[in-house]
């Protein structure tokens, strides 16, 4: 059995999943606000409550908002700031008495969709979360690509390509830069411009998303790009964005598919559970 934990800003969700990807139990608890020690404790209590039995200990994977620094081993890039600079992996392993695998929540999303979701069967999957923020993750042959700096797929803080007209002046980002893709493609940015019901707002959004994803296609050339997060429920994106990205992809033909998530909000916990390996092969 595999336990997957999704550590979010408002709730901590956990599931028990079998080798076939069937969910056996699901529980959620509120995230202790701004309290690191209490957060570790809450995860430990949640795992204890989920544990299928004392005879066999489940593997535990945890999706976090952020990444583990390759230099310090501590959490970095987390928007839940009480986690930043903390030895979360060591503290969780001590609390749970077993090795724990941690990954960025966008990587968990990409892994879940690659293994048995919208990217199933594809070798290279780029998963994108278009939510409160914009995150991305890369999965190759069923495994998360972490990268030399543990930031592979962090495309939301690349600059928006070819900014012009309404894109200017470049928007300031919380990360300290200006013109980050996240500042144009996050859910609140779309809402601010009128939301998905506004033809002009959604058309601008599609053009920006197409330019930003064309850069991903040129660099990574994924088989499929899977969208998650609130904005991914806007159905017209899946027809319009691939039509628009052709102008920016350096190829005579673009075979990359743009697909809607299959597991929705559940991809966070499902991907965390899959951090210990996908289902057994045929």
Distances (CA, A) of 191 to 135, 167, 169, 183, 200: 18, 15, 19, 12, 12
Residue 180 found at the interface with Zn ion (CB under 5 A): yes
Residue 173 found at the interface with Zn ion (CB under 5 A): yes
Residue 263 found at the interface with Zn ion (CB under 5 A): no
From the list 109, 147, 145, 139, the residue with the least C-alpha distance to 122 is: 139
Contact 3, 14 (CB under 8 A): yes
Binding segment toward Zn ion, per CB under 5 A, in 20-28, 130-138, 152-160, 267-275: 152-160
Which structure tokens are listed for 73? 């081993």
Nearer to Zn ion, 8 or 135 (CB): 135
Nearer to Zn ion, 175 or 203 (CB): 175
239 by DSSP, 3-state: which? helix
**Residue 244 CB, nearest distance to Zn ion (Å)?**
23
Residue 157 found at the interface with Zn ion (CB under 5 A): yes
Residue 144 found at the interface with Zn ion (CB under 5 A): no
Residue with tokens 């919380």: 174
From the list 103, 92, 77, the residue with the least C-alpha distance to 36 is: 92
Nearer to Zn ion, 158 or 198 (CB): 158
**Residue 131 CB, nearest distance to Zn ion (Å)?**
15
Residue 275 found at the interface with Zn ion (CB under 5 A): no
**Site size for Zn ion (CB under 5 A):** 5
Contacts of 170 (CB under 8 A, 6+ apart): 159, 160, 163, 178, 179
Residue 196 found at the interface with Zn ion (CB under 5 A): no
Q: How far apart are CA 9 and CA 18, in angstroms?
A: 27
**Residue 155 CB, nearest distance to Zn ion (Å)?**
11
Site map 100..139 versus Zn ion, x via CB under 5 A:
----------------------------------------
CA 54 to chain centre: 32
Binding segment toward Zn ion, per CB under 5 A, in 110-118, 165-173, 252-260, 272-280: 165-173
Footprint of Zn ion (CB under 5 A) = 157, 173, 175, 177, 180
């Amino acid at each position: 059995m595999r336990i997957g934990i999704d550590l979010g800003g408002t709730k901590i969700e956990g599931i028990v999943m079998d080798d076939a990807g069937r969910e056996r139990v699901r529980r959620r608890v509120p995230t202790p606000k701004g309290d690191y020690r209490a957060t570790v404790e809450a995860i430990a209590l949640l795992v204890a409550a989920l544990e299928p039995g004392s005879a066999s200990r489940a593997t535990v994977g945890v999706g976090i908002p952020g990444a583990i620094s390759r230099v310090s081993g501590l959490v970095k890039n987390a928007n839940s700031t009480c986690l930043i600079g903390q030895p979360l992996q060591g503290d969780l392993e001590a609390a749970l008495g077993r090795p724990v695998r941690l990954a960025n929540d966008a990587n968990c999303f990409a892994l879940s969709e690659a293994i048995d979701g919208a990217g199933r069967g594809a070798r290279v999957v780029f998963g994108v979360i278009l939510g409160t923020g914009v995150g991305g993750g890369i999965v190759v042959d069923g495994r998360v690509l972490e990268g030399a700096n543990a930031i592979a797929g962090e495309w939301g803080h690349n600059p928006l390509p070819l900014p012009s007209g309404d894109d200017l002046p470049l928007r300031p980002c919380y990360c300290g830069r200006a013109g980050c893709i996240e500042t144009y493609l996050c859910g609140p940015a779309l809402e601010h411009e009128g939301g998905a019901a506004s033809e002009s707002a959604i058309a601008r959004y599609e053009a920006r998303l197409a330019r930003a994803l064309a850069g991903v296609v040129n660099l990574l050339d994924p088989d499929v790009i899977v969208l998650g997060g609130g904005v991914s429920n806007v159905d017209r994106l899946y027809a319009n964005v691939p039509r628009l990205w052709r102008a920016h992809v350096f190829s005579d033909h673009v075979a990359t598919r743009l697909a809607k998530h299959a597991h929705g909000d559940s991809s966070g916990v499902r991907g965390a559970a899959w951090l210990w390996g996908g289902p057994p092969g045929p």
